[in-house]
Amino acid sequence: MLSAFAADPEMSRQGDVTDLESAEAYIRQLTDRSQDNLAFAVVDRGRCVGVVAINGSRQHQLGWFFYWVHPGTRGRGVMSQAAATVANWALGHGEDDDGGFYRLELGHRENNPASGRIAAAAGFLQEGLEREKFEVGGERVDVLTYGRLRSDPPAVVGHLPLRCQQEVTCS
Ligand SMILES: CC(C)(COP(=O)(O)OP(=O)(O)OC[C@H]1O[C@@H](n2cnc3c(N)ncnc32)[C@H](O)[C@@H]1OP(=O)(O)O)[C@@H](O)C(=O)NCCC(=O)NCCS
């Protein structure tokens, strides 16, 4: 976590991680089941190289979906597979488990096309464009919004093995 946040200033948009204590707090927040949050570590040779997370809302079986990869692991298509695997699981298209969500949502800045490719690979459809939503470096930037429903077709990119350390379900 620390290494990923230290390697890319853009990572500050994902959270405030500057030392071991704030990294631990970030992990606690990502996995806080009292707030219906859950997260999967993307693991390569025993090390966490990325995260796919869902901030859920139990009431509507709705989840806000997001992801990041360590800068040293980018450019290899890892996140397309990881995001597709978790989205399929969340919407009941996993190999043997069902996350119990009905709808997942995500958004990315228009000038982050790699994130859009990952969203598409994970089966999300673009639903909207929020004009000039964020100010980044003194400029207003559009945000593209996406959704994927339980009834949408599953993502078909390569599937990664998914291991749940504890039972996680939104239903
Ligand atoms: C966004 C992020 C997860 C992408 O991960 P990555 O490993 O760099 O992505 P990849 O290199 O595998 O690229 C994914 C796809 O985007 C394409 N892509 C990459 N850069 C691109 C660009 N500038 N223009 C168009 N397509 C691009 C790749 O060709 C690839 O396409 P493919 O799947 O059809 O082969 C990573 O950059 C990251 O963690 N960024 C910080 C956090 C973030 O922005 N998260 C997303 C918000 S939810």
In the chain, where are the structural domains located?
A: 36-149
CATH architecture of 36-149: 3-Layer(aba) Sandwich (3.40)
Which H/E stretch holds residue 69?
strand 62-69
Q: Tell me what pLDDT residue 165 has.
A: 74
Alpha helices, H only, the chain? 2-7, 20-30, 78-90, 113-121
Rounded to the nearest angstrom, the distance between the alpha carbon of 117 and the centre of ligand 1 is: 7
Nearest-atom number in ligand 1 for the CA of 121 is 33
pLDDT tens-digit series, residues 60-97? 999 999 999 999 999 999 999 999 999 999 999 987 78
Distance between CA atoms of 122 and 102, rounded to whole angstroms? 15
Could you count the other beta carbons within 10 Å of the beta carbon of residue 117? Answer: 13
| pLDDT for the residue 169 | 46
Whether 82 and 50 have beta carbons less than 8 Å apart is answered as yes
- How remote is the CA of residue 44 from the centroid of ligand 1, in Å? 18
**C-alpha neighbours within 13 Å on the C-beta side of residue 170:** 28
What would the two tokens of residue 158 be? 């390569």
Q: Which atom of ligand 1 is nearest to the CA of 109?
A: 47
Any residues with Cβ below 6 Å from ligand 1, and which? 10, 14, 66-69, 74-80, 106, 108, 112-115, 117-118, 121
Within a 10 A sphere around the Cβ of 143, how many other Cβ atoms? 16
Decide: residue 165, CB within 10 A, 0-12 exposed, 13-18 middle, 19+ buried: exposed
pLDDT tops 60 at residue 168: no
- Residue-wise pLDDT tens digits, 117-162: 999 999 999 999 999 999 998 999 999 999 999 999 999 888 899 9
